[in-house]
Amino acid sequence: MSQYFSSSYEESREKFLALLDHVKTYYPTARVMSHSIGEDTIDLIIGEPAGSREAMLLMTIGEHGIEGYAGAAVTHQFVETQLPQLRHESTGICLIHAVNPWGMKHFRRVNEHNVDLNRNYVIDRETLPRNVNKEYEVMRHLFVPDGVIDDYHEAREHIYSFLGSGIKLDGFDAMTEAKGMGQYQFPKGVYYGGESDEPSAIFLKEIQHDLLDRYDRIVHMDWHTALGPTNEVTMVVSERDGRDVDELKRTYGLKNIQTYDPTDVLGDSTNHFYYVRDTHHPDKRLVSALFEFGTFGTSTKATIREFLTIILENRLYFEGTKDPEARNGIRKEFMAMFYPEDESWRTSVLREGAAAIELVLKAESLWRDS
C-alpha cells in the first residue's frame, strides 16, 4: 500500500511520470505532456486507442492541492491493477496529475492566489456580482482572517462559540450555503473563487473542449477528499447531468451519491464540463463527477470541525501565530481532514477507489467482461 502514497509533490509527480511505461503496454503511442503553471507543472499521460475513438476515460487529481495525494494513489493503483480491464481498442485515457500543483506542493487546498479552483469555473463571469454570496458577506468576520493567532485554544473557542450560536439560532444552514456557493469578494477569505479565470482552470477548460470534440463519450472521474462518510467514497454529480440520485444509484451501484444545484455551487469544474457539452456538443455523452473520500464524517459535529479547520488554516497562512501549539495543532487537523496518515483510511481509499472505478466503467461499457 505504501508505494501508492507520497509524502511530497515531487515524489508523487515522479511516481506518476513513471506510470507511462505501464500505460504503453496497452497504448504504445502514449505520451507525457507537461503544462507550466508558475514554477510547477500540470502533467498528463495520454493514450489514444488504436481503433475508433469511441470513448475517453479522464481522471483528474489535485484540483484542491493537498487532496491530490489520495487521488494520485488511486490513479497509480488503477494503472497497475485495473488498466488491463479497460477496452483499449476503442477507449482512450487521459490522466492528469495535480491541476493545482502549488497547492499540492505546499499542502494547501487553494492555489498560490488563495483561489479555490473548484469555484473558479464561472460560466458567465461578466454578469456575476462580486457580492453574489450574501450569506458569506454577513458572516465575513468568521470567514476572513482577522489578525495573528495569539492563543490556539482561545481562537478555537471563539469560532466554536460562533458556530454553536449559529446552530441554536438556525443560522447553520446559512453558513453551509455560504461555504457551498463560494465567494468572489474577499481575496484572503476562505472559499474564494477568484476575480478571473486561473491558468489551471483555463488549461482544464481546453482539455474539456478538446476531448468532447474528438470523442463520442467522456467519463470523467475527479478525485477529492474530506466530504462524505468516513472511509467511504461519495460520488457528487451536477444536476445538469439530468439524472436524480435514485437513477444514478441504480446505474452505478454506489452506496453514496449526491447531486447539487449548480446555482448553489458556483464555479464547479465538473458542472462546467456539462455546460461545454450542452452548448457545443449536445450529441456527445458525458459523465463528469467528483469522487470524495470521507474523513471527518457527516454529523453536525464533523461539519463544525471542518469549518474550524478550514478557517484556522487560512488565518494561520495569512496572519501567522505566536503560539507553536497553534501552528502544530492547525496543521495536524488540516492533514487529518484532507490527507490522513491513518492506515485504515488509506486502505479504504484504495479499496473504495478501485470499486468505484470498476462500477462506473462497467456501467459505461468501458470494462472488459473477462
The model's pLDDT over 190-245, given as tens digits with 9 standing for 90+, comes to 999 999 999 999 999 999 999 999 999 999 999 999 999 999 999 999 999 999 99
* pLDDT beyond 80 at 171: no
**Residue 123 pLDDT > 90, yes or no?**
yes
Q: How confident is the model at residue 169 (pLDDT cuts 50, 70, 90)?
A: low
Mean pLDDT on 159-175? 70
Percent of the chain with pLDDT over 90: 82
Considering only CA atoms, which of 246, 346, 276 is closest in space to residue 5? Answer: 346
Cα–Cα distances (Å) from 182 to 118, 235, 256, in that order, read 9, 20, 24
Q: CB-based contacts of 361: which residues, under 8 Å, 6+ apart?
A: 57, 85, 86, 219, 367
Residue 98 region by backbone torsions, left for phi larger than 0, else alpha for psi between -120 and 50, else beta: left
Q: Quick check: 166 pLDDT over 60?
A: no
**In degrees to the nearest 10, what's the CA dihedral of 115, 120, 125, 128?**
-70
Q: pLDDT band for position 356 (50/70/90)?
A: very high
Ranges 173-182, 248-257, 298-307, 324-333: which has the least confidence? 173-182
Angle subtended at Cα 197 by Cα 193 and Cα 203, rounded to the nearest 5 degrees: 120
Instruction: Indicate the pairing of strand 40-47 with strand 55-61.
Output: unpaired
The C-alpha cell that represents 316 in the structure block: 494561520
At residue 370, the pLDDT reads: 65
